[in-house]
Structure 1
Amino acid sequence: MFKRSVGPASLSLFTFRVCAAPKKDSPPKTSVKVDELSQGQIAVSSHSCDTYCEPYTSWCQDTYSQSKPKMQSLVQWGLDSYDYLQNAPPGFFPRLGVIGFAGLIGPLLTRGSKIKKLVYLPGFMGLAASLYYPQQTIVFAQVSGESLYDWGNVKNSPGTK
């Protein structure tokens, strides 16, 4: 009849007093013990509370079930990155420093112009990264070029708006 809920263990140390409202024609009573409550009244009250809260609980469950895999993959990515940085290949951190420094030079050279900031920052970082990782740069350029070519053909093809 009653559903269990997960909560802090310290809440189980509290004692609760259950009070019920008397009927209109009955003599006034200050409180009712749990043993004196009618199971039907408790069931009706519990059911009305369940029906009122059901849309909210189902929304929370749906949101949780959708976000749980994403959060798990994010945590796994963080753990993998941590492991990689703990066992980094030799020369990784100096390369990372040069690439990061090249990225910092971009905003220093582009004072005032937002378009230059959008171009110089990734441009300098890409240039520094391409010095250290030439094979990955070639693959990246090929894939990016094909994607841009395909995107341009879709936009310019007849029959599209």
Structure 2
Amino acid sequence: MFKVIQRSMGLTSLSLLTFKVYAVPKKDSPPQNSEKVDELSLNSVPKGQLEYVEESRSPLEESISQLRHYCEPYTSWCQETFSQTQPKMQSLAQWGLGVTGFVGLIGLFLARGSKIKKLVYLPGFMGLAASLYYPQQAIVFAQVSGETLYDWEDLWKENFQKPGNVKNSPGTK
């Protein structure tokens, strides 16, 4: 076992060594002309002097530039107003979360003693409080929930209110 580990460690450690390799031309090959670094294609310097020439603006660019300069006071006013109202809005959102949590606690308090009340009051009160802050999502949720309740009602009528059912048959009392 020790020999296997020793041999594998030896091969692994050899793979981590680095060696320098020097290329020497063959003695019978013809001498090549050495090239300077500037003469290489990757590092070549262009022959002439380059000048940056700015393109003239198109009429569309000019009109956009004028519009930007015209709207600059209004955008700066909007940025200042946003920076002043942002902390107030964040505190209002935190207050709203506090109200939602408090309403949930009230639902939990009112639902003492019954598991069904806990299933109804707690999410109901929290959903009611959250719908004050997210009315659009509350409308969508109510529509989807209503459709689901109608589907369940149809399923209930199909499976449990058949004429042959013992509970609903007209001959039994």
Which category of TM-score, normalised to the shorter sequence, fits these structures? 0.3 to 0.5
Compare CA radii of gyration and give the structure with the larger one.
2
TM-score, scaled to structure 1: 0.40
Q: Which has the higher helix share?
A: 1
TM-score, scaled to structure 2: 0.38
Q: Larger relative CO (CA 8 A, sep 6+): 1 or 2?
A: 1
